[in-house]
Structure 1
Amino acid sequence: MGGDLGGDRVTEAVADAVTVLRKAVDRDWGAVRAGRVEWNCLETAEHIAGDLIAYAGQLAGRAQDAYVPFDIHFEDGTDAEGALQVIETAGTLLAATIRATPREVRAFHPHPFRSANRVGFAAMGVAEVVLHTYDIAEGLGLAYEPPAHLPEYVLTRIFPAVQPGPDAWRTLLWATGRGELPGRAPRTEWRWSNNLVLPTERLTLQGVTPAAAADLATGGDGGFAWVEDGPFEGTREAAAMTTKAYEAGVHRPEFGLFALVRREDGRAVGGMGFHGAPDEDGCAEVGYDLAESARGNGYATEALHTLSDWALARDDVRSLCATIEPDNAASQRVIARAGFNRASVEQEQAYGESEPGLRLYIRTTRTD
């Protein structure tokens, strides 16, 4: 995915927004309310700049527990042209920071899993620019619509549970309470969602976004640095399942695919995750695979322990299950070491009606 082009997307979003808003620099932005938000246009511009610089600060400072304690404000008497200059400056700083930030770095952001990587901060930066430019433009009576790939960039990275529509911009406006979509109820509350990361001793399990899944499913790297013989076929198949679920509007990112990334070198060694959200009985099915060069090191067992403990700590999960081919002894050893037990004959027979010939393993308790 070429570094995900996050810095370029921020730069493009800012340049496009400034071009549109500069048409109204002769207006008093402080006297005009910005669309549906509670601020006037000048305050909204200040908010855009403040978020861009705050995101740059989080990444540059590698903040882990809270926002870096600083903020920016326009000087008294700042007019519309001055506001746009600050937005351009803040956008340049965020884009440069994204480009200079290594792939594996994460920094604090509160929603929903308390961290984001450079891709997440880029998507949040683009979202702040395009959405609040829309608000300002609406207040000033200007026509504004960003290039279609910008809202698509945002949706596929930080709105993983929002079903895509035929028009990415209208979908993003609806997802953030700014418009209507046929067949969908209006939204009054919303939050974006950065990918979930679960740490183990030697790995991180990194949630695969819809954008990364689509890339993996079509032969790309999904934005990860893989070991030489990765990803394995099963990971690409799971990525295709994730893409299908996203397009159908049933994707739950916490019950999707995770890339297993080695801490020592930042290399992805395999994939692990769920076949979907828990069923009506609270059962979620897990699956996994590793690149051949990474096998025999206990990575799958270590990751499966962590993922299983995390899932079984949730209120909506009562059990986990996995199905394995009878002749796959290596996978059977992994599942046993991760605390799963062979299902009863009755359970296996019931499951086998849809998956004949597979062995069923179940786990119902945490190990920590």
Structure 2
Amino acid sequence: MSRLLSPLSLRGTTFRNRIWVSPMCQYSSVDGHPTDWHLVHLGALARGGSGLVFTEATAVTAEGRISPRDAGIWTDAQAADYERITAFVRGQGAVPGIQLGHAGRKASTDVPWRGRGYVEPSDGGWSSVGASPVGYADWPPPHELDQTALADLVRAWAAATRRALSAGFEVIEIHAAHGYLLHQFLSPLSNARTDGYGGSLDSRARLLREIVDAVRAELPDSAPLFVRVSASDWVEGGLDVEQVAEVTRDLAGRGVDLIDVSSGGNSPDQQIAVGPGYQVPFAERIRRESGLPVAAVGLITEPAQAEEIVAADRADAVLLARALLRDPSWPQRAAQELGDDVYWPDQYLRARPR
């Protein structure tokens, strides 16, 4: 039996296989609400056989969206609109998951097919906030969050978690990667604070710890909690895998069940050595040092490649993004290539290879 296609259990949740859908922004929400696009997009990924289907980064506050077209869950009405989506995903045998995040200084930007430039408040954008008034690229510097605002954010993450559970999500992931708010606090490139949330690595990780504790407190014992990290800023003097491994060791004692290991996103000066599976060594390192299960992501495109990653215990699961956009049925193809079996809906059985 393929290790890639074998089940994985975390707490009280069992994933039918280890091919998971990475959170991917769709820039198709309206005032934070999911639309028919999300139902079809996420539904197709569940129908294609993936074990876990994550929504895109979903903002815990309105100002936390990456763009005005990004998803949110800061209202009960937004949460209610996810119910039909999670029901469909679950009906296909996949686990519905949601990534909760805040864009920080990388908020209020345009959709990628219009260039990702900063959206001025006069054009429907808003003023961004961040760890420190240090801008990203040539975008306006954010307003530094004071301690009252930070406490409000911790409560916002907790409230978003309650809404996510009410909407039918079974896995929560905290987004602390790709240059967004929690990564901005973790990295010395974007955190110049002199209070208890800046300076040492322990202090820079304080907000993440507070949010992890608040989210875990809202979750039932059966619900897994993931954290996505960027293992490197790919910039001299920035966040590196040694620091991230230290942070994740602490998270292991706070009820986190898996680390989703990515990299980059916090500096336009990053120099990334891109190649097939280029982030897998980061996942291996964090798995070894934290003692936690990990998911690997990044240019994992072929079934044999994914099988080797999990079979060799380099990671416990793989998260696919562009490969699944190109082929939502990738898990079904993988099963054929690996000589194993995977879910097919009854309506598609006549197309199943014999």
Choose between structure 1 and 2 for higher RCO, CA contacts under 8 A separated by at least 6 residues: 2
Query: Greater CA radius of gyration, 1 or 2?
Result: 1
**Larger helix proportion, structure 1 or 2?**
1
